[in-house]
Amino acid sequence: MNKVNLMNLDQKQMEEFLLNIGEQPYRGRQICQWVLQKGVKNFSDMTNLSKQLRQKLAGLAELGGVEILAKQESREGNTVKYLFGYPDGQAVESVLMLHSYGSTACVSTQVGCRMGCRFCASTLGGMVRDLSSGEIYDQVLAIQKDTGKRVSHIVLMGSGEPLDNYDNSIKFIKNITAPYGLNISARHITLSTCGIVPGIKKLARENFPITLAVSLHAPNNKLRDHLMPVNKKYPLEELIPACREYADFTGRRITFEYSLIRDVNDREKYAEQLGNLLKGLLCHVNLIPVNPVKERDFHRSSWKNILRFKKLLEKYGINSTIRKEMGSDIDAACGQLRRKVILNSK
């Protein structure tokens, strides 16, 4: 019989699980605290449970967990990239960024990715498998354990497309924001999507005060088809109305991510097109000097072009920020460390 990974349960399911094995439901609440709040990975550490119950649980359930396979720290010491390994041999990357206002964990939601964005290293080997909600949660617990620091902000922006693994991503958000979990404010959570239209519409109705970030990277279908194949399925004439619907429904400002790639999408005409596309939408644009990917021939825009792009957007009343570069010395582009460690060892 397969053991139940308790990391994948919410409090109600934990109570039901205990009930099903002939125990009192309040035990489920206690176990939830051990598992999701304290990150305990050994039943013997659950000191408010009887020895008998701990032994029973050890026979029926497991507590997940990840192993640190590799770790890189930036020279400035404000970014740490982890390669976490799961018991089945799969591995994903997570990044911890230390800011003046707290620490942000960037977590992965899938091993690999099927979306094929041309500037991304995570998709080079295709999609391997979804992560369960508990496996995503374990990345945050492991970062906290390794650093001794509380994670205050989360971005679902590592490898994988969160809306392609919808149920697990949503359950992860519910558990990590719950009082029985790490109680991280939903306002400190950002979910990043490459533009899965049905997922955006569904997410709007979840009623989470999280931030939705949409990776746009191109202001017209021709260029976006080339950079992000998902655009062929959900072109801009479907994506932008879905974003407007999301902003209207939730009243929350959407962040559009726009990686500036030299001579590809950083010209003046593209800034004008982007301005027209987003005019009147409750949004903010994050301009990202792209991290070069060895396997792709993409280079970072010049500083002059980045500033010109930003200025042109202002003409359309669109606020933008230039994302602070963090960890460009540590294979910071998503998927690079995994490729280096895992694929080079095969």
Q: Which amino acid is at 273?
A: Q
The one catalytic residue among 15, 32, 93, 106: 93
Q: What are the angstrom distances between the C-alpha of 8 and each of 158, 169, 201, 231?
A: 20, 11, 25, 32
Residue 152 CB, nearest approach to ligand SF4 (Å): 23
- In this structure, what token pair is assigned to residue 95? 């990044």
Q: Which is nearer to ligand SF4, 97 or 312 (CB)?
A: 97
Please choose, out of 20-28, 108-116, 178-186, 240-248, the segment that lies near ligand SF4 by the rule CB under 6 A: 108-116
Residue 264 CB, nearest approach to ligand SF4 (Å): 15
Q: Which is nearer to ligand SF4, 72 or 193 (CB)?
A: 193
Residue selected from 143, 191, 334, 342 as contacting ligand SF4 according to rule CB under 6 A:
334
Residue selected from 11, 122, 165, 168 as contacting ligand SF4 according to rule CB under 6 A:
122
Phi, psi of 289 (to 5 degrees): -65, 115
The helix (run of H) or strand (run of E) holding residue 212 is strand 211-215
Q: How many CB atoms lie within 10 A of CB 13?
A: 15
* Structural contact between residues 192 and 160, judged by C-beta atoms closer than 8 angstroms: no
Contact set for ligand SF4, span 185-214 (CB under 6 A): 194
Please choose, out of 71-79, 109-117, 179-187, 337-345, the segment that lies near ligand SF4 by the rule CB under 6 A: 109-117
* Per-residue binding letters, 123-142, with ligand SF4 (x by CB under 6 A): x-------------------
* Structural contact between residues 332 and 323, judged by C-beta atoms closer than 8 angstroms: no
* Per-residue binding letters, 59-98, with ligand SF4 (x by CB under 6 A): ----------------------------------------
Q: Name the packing angle between helices 166-177 and 197-204 (round to 10°).
A: 30
Contact set for ligand SF4, span 148-187 (CB under 6 A): 159-161
Taking CA 151 as the corner, what is the angle to CA 8 and CA 89, rounded to the nearest 5 degrees? 45
Residues 6+ apart with CB under 8 A from 169: 109, 133, 136, 156, 162, 163, 191
115 binds ligand SF4 (CB under 6 A): yes
Q: Check if 245 is active-site.
A: no
- In this structure, what token pair is assigned to residue 256? 């559009």
Q: Check if 15 is active-site.
A: no
Catalytic residues: 93, 334
Q: List residues near ligand SF4 by CB under 6 A.
A: 113, 115-117, 120, 122-123, 159-161, 194, 334
